[in-house]
Amino acid sequence: MKNIVILISGGGSNMAAIVRATERDRWAERFGARIAAVVSNKAEAGGLALAAAHGIATEIVPHKEFPTREAFDEALAKVVDAHSPDLVVLAGFMRILTPGFVERYAGRLVNIHPSLLPAFPGLNTHQRAIDAGCKVAGVTVHQVTTELDHGPILAQAVVPVLPDDTAATLAGRVLAQEHQLYPRAIAGWLADTSRHIRKF
Ligand code: GAR
């Protein structure tokens, strides 16, 4: 069985979309894959209850309890490793990871970012796209490297930016695409077991 470990910080709607896809598209039968655990850096992350309701192991590693990023990432890696991950999926995980963590999971660490990378890495992507006068926006699924919101692009989806958009309306349109794209990108990764992902 290929083990997927999903890291979240909040509502976990992308995680929920992935959970739905594993069940609807029978990832266990088709790919020999399952979601082994959902891990959050926040105890109050809404997604934890949904994961538990689907019989998925949940873990909390509260970043505030650690003095440094390195100490947090070490504790996080210990929890993640306990689930023997073949793929680690960042789904709205809002912590910057240390190079040590990223290198440990090189080639099996993916992220979703709500912009058309390499445009608008970082925060406030939707407002920045509106302010820049972009006519399209979108979402990117990419492999994680030590540079924030960079790394080989696995999949993208595009949405229009409408004249009366606010950051919130644009975010909603992008999020609907995220829920389609992320499960599809992960399924593609699982299907293509022969793909040799470059290590960084
Ligand atoms: C999503 O829009 C995701 O792309 C974004 O946070 C949101 C989490 O929503 N991630 C980032 O901005 C990472 N840089 P969710 O918790 O409902 O999936």
pLDDT at 192: 82
Please give the number of the atom of ligand 1 that sits closest to the Cα of 94. 13
Separation of alpha carbons 92 and 115, rounded Å: 13
Reduced DSSP (H G I as helix, E B as strand, rest coil) percent helix, strand, coil of the chain, to 5: 40, 20, 40
pLDDT in tens, 26-60: 999 999 999 999 999 999 999 999 999 999 999 99
Picking from 30, 78, 40, the residue whose alpha carbon sits closest to that of residue 186 is 30
Substitution candidate for ligand 1 out of 18, 20, 113 with most atoms within 8 A of CB: 113
Catalytic residue status for 113: yes
- Residue 22 phi/psi, 5° resolution? -60, -35
pLDDT value at 196 more than 50 = no
pLDDT at 175: 98
pLDDT value at 158 more than 90 = yes
Task: Say if domain 2-195 classifies as CATH 3.40.50.170.
Answer: yes
pLDDT value at 199 more than 50 = no
How confident is residue 197, by pLDDT bands cut at 50, 70 and 90? very low
pLDDT value at 152 more than 70 = yes
Q: Is the CB of 114 under 6 A from ligand 1?
A: yes
Does an H or E element contain 181, and which?
helix 167-191
Substitution candidate for ligand 1 out of 89, 178, 186 with most atoms within 8 A of CB: 178
Mean of pLDDT over the chain: 95
pLDDT value at 137 more than 80 = yes
pTM for the complete prediction?
A: 0.95
